[in-house]
């Protein structure tokens, strides 16, 4: 690590960013608007088909899949990236990070505090990045082993199925709003009353929309619509959770201490982002469905760059990493997912030399 010229590395990565951002314009605006149009076609056709089960059950199945696809596109390629400010330069109030609210139980402002700022600033820094394991999973030896870690694969599965609610509750859990003693190093960004109000109001809006309003519109088909919405939400949760875990918790991602980032230069920050993330290889359609988070390394290096540019810059980033002798963590979906599973299982057991605490 000491042999890396961080200043030269910074200059090389900055060069990629500057050359790419100079090209951002009408092509990128047309791309995100096309994705939004297709997402809306999928959502409304899916919701209509859920109510046509009396014609043929296959129509209901297609409706479920279209609605799940719409929710995935909205959360991943639209919501996540818009809220990162990737399209603020368009000055379109409908896709601006300051006002966009996504179709998920998590309040956008909470996500911006915990993920957009905290996670992207302190990526994988133990004690500062609450996204690393989400406070539920032990994913490195930096954390003390506890008995509950024995069944953390079950915890991981439950978190994946209910992922939107896990993300929604994430900040409240970290701030010990309902349970537990507040940690000494935590300083309130938002008072607990406001956190609870936004948690319940956003969650209620999502529940009312999917399980009251649209079923009511369906009349006698209301149970089919409730079931279809529940399955579509579950498919979206499983997909988003899997992609996010493959981008952050594969076998070879690194963790960092607070001391290691003292007086951190931008070059070292770039270096940490690269080692703390992992990519997933795939076809173009696969990258779109992941919100281009299959290029998690590029996303962490350039979080405000329009996501559709990640496919373009990834080979350049990989070349720079190779030039500086920095590992570039990429692999097929199954390679990366098996790495996630191995990591969860490995740290579910105590380290051989560690004194365990029950």
* Confidence class for position 187, pLDDT limits 50, 70, 90: low
Arithmetic mean of pLDDT, 80-85: 96
C-alpha 46: how far from chain center: 24
The model's pLDDT over 83-127, given as tens digits with 9 standing for 90+, comes to 999 999 999 999 999 999 999 999 988 898 888 888 999 999 998
Proportion of the chain above pLDDT 90, given as a percent: 83
Is residue 50 scored above 50 in pLDDT? yes
Distance of CA 75 to the CA centre of its chain: 9
Q: How confident is the model at residue 204 (pLDDT cuts 50, 70, 90)?
A: very high
pLDDT for the residue 174: 77
357 band by pLDDT with thresholds 50, 70 and 90: very low
Does the pLDDT value for residue 1 go beyond 60?
Answer: no
Query: Which residues make Cβ contacts (< 8 Å) with residue 193, sequence separation at least 6?
Result: none
Q: What is the pLDDT of residue 178?
A: 76
pLDDT at 328: 97
Output the six-digit token pair for 63: 């409706």
pLDDT at 300 (0 to 100): 97
pLDDT band, residue 176 (cuts 50/70/90): confident
Say whether pLDDT at 181 is over 80: no
Q: From CA 256, how far away is CA 129, in angstroms rounded?
A: 10
Predicted confidence (pLDDT) per residue in 282-318, tens digit: 999 999 999 999 999 999 999 999 999 999 999 999 9
Which residue pairs from 202-211 have beta carbons closer than 8 angstroms and sit at least 24 positions apart in sequence?
A: 202/105, 202/106, 202/107, 202/168, 203/105, 203/165, 203/168, 206/103, 206/104, 206/105, 206/164
Comparing 8 with 179, which gets the higher pLDDT?
A: 8
Which tokens hold the place of 280?
A: 């997933």
> What's the rounded Cα separation, in Å, for the pair 220 and 279?
46
**Residue 358: pLDDT band with limits 50, 70, 90:** very low
Helix ranges restricted to H, the chain = 6-21, 26-50, 57-72, 81-83, 108-111, 120-121, 152-161, 163-174, 192-208, 214-218, 222-248, 266-275, 284-289, 296-301, 310-323, 333-346
Give DSSP secondary structure letters for 123-189.
TTBTTT-TTSSTTT---STTS---GGGGGHHHHHHHHHHTHHHHHHHHHHHHTTSSSSPPPTT---S
pLDDT confidence of residue 49: 97
Query: Above 70 in pLDDT, residue 186?
Result: no
Going by C-alpha positions, the residue among 324, 223, 310, 326 that lies closest to residue 274 is: 326
pLDDT of residue 353: 61
**pLDDT given at position 245:** 97
Q: Which of 8-12, 130-134, 152-156, 269-273 has the lowest mean pLDDT?
A: 130-134
- Tell me the torsion sign for CA atoms 187, 190, 196, 202: negative
Token digits of residue 348: 């579910």
Q: In the predicted model, is pLDDT for residue 355 greater than 80?
A: no
In tens, the pLDDT along 324-354 reads 999 999 999 999 999 999 999 999 999 876 5
The mean pLDDT of 166-187, rounded to a whole number, is: 76
- 231-254 tens-digit pLDDT: 999 999 999 999 999 999 999 999
Contacts of 303 (CB under 8 A, 6+ apart): 84, 86, 116, 120
User: How far is it, in rounded angstroms, from Cα 112 to Cα 89?
Assistant: 18
Q: Considering only CA atoms, which of 82, 84, 101 is closest in space to residue 92? A: 82
pLDDT for res 2 = 55
Q: Give the pLDDT of residue 183.
A: 67
């Amino acid at each position: 690590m000491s042999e890396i010229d961080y200043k030269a590395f910074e200059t090389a990565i900055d060069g990629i960013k500057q050359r790419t951002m100079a090209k951002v314009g009408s092509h990128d605006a047309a791309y995100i608007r096309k994705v939004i149009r297709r997402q809306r076609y999928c959502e409304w056709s899916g919701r209509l088909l859920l109510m046509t089960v009396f014609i043929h059950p296959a129509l209901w199945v297609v409706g479920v899949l279209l609605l799940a696809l719409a929710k995935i596109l909205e959360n991943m390629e639209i919501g996540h990236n818009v809220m990162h400010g990737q399209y603020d330069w368009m000055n379109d109030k409908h896709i601006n990070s300051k006002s966009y609210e996504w179709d998920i139980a998590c309040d956008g402002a909470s996500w911006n505090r915990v993920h957009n700022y905290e996670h992207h600033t302190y990526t994988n820094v133990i004690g500062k990045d609450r996204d690393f394991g989400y406070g539920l999973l032990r994913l490195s030896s930096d954390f003390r082993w506890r008995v509950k870690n024995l069944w953390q694969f079950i915890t991981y599965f439950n978190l994946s199925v209910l992922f939107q609610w896990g993300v929604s509750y994430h900040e409240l859990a970290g701030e010990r709003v309902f349970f537990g003693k507040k940690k000494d190093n935590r300083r309130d960004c938002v008072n607990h009353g406001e956190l609870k109000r936004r948690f319940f109001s956003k969650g209620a809006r999502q529940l009312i929309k999917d399980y009251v309003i649209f079923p009511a519109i369906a009349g006698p088909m209301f149970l089919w619509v409730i079931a279809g919405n529940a399955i579509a939400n579950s498919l979206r949760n499983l997909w988003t959770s899997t992609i996010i875990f493959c981008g952050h918790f594969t076998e070879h991602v690194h963790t960092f201490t607070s001391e290691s980032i003292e007086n951190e230069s931008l070059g070292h920050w770039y270096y940490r982002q690269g080692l703390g993330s992992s990519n997933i290889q795939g076809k173009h359609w696969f990258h779109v469905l992941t919100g281009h988070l299959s290029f998690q390394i590029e996303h962490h290096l350039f979080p405000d760059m329009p996501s559709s540019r990640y496919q373009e810059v990834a080979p350049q980033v990989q070349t720079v990493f190779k030039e500086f002798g920095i590992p570039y963590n990429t692999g097929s979906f199954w390679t990366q997912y098996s790495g996630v599973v191995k990591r969860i299982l490995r740290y579910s057991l105590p380290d051989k030399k560690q004194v365990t605490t029950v």
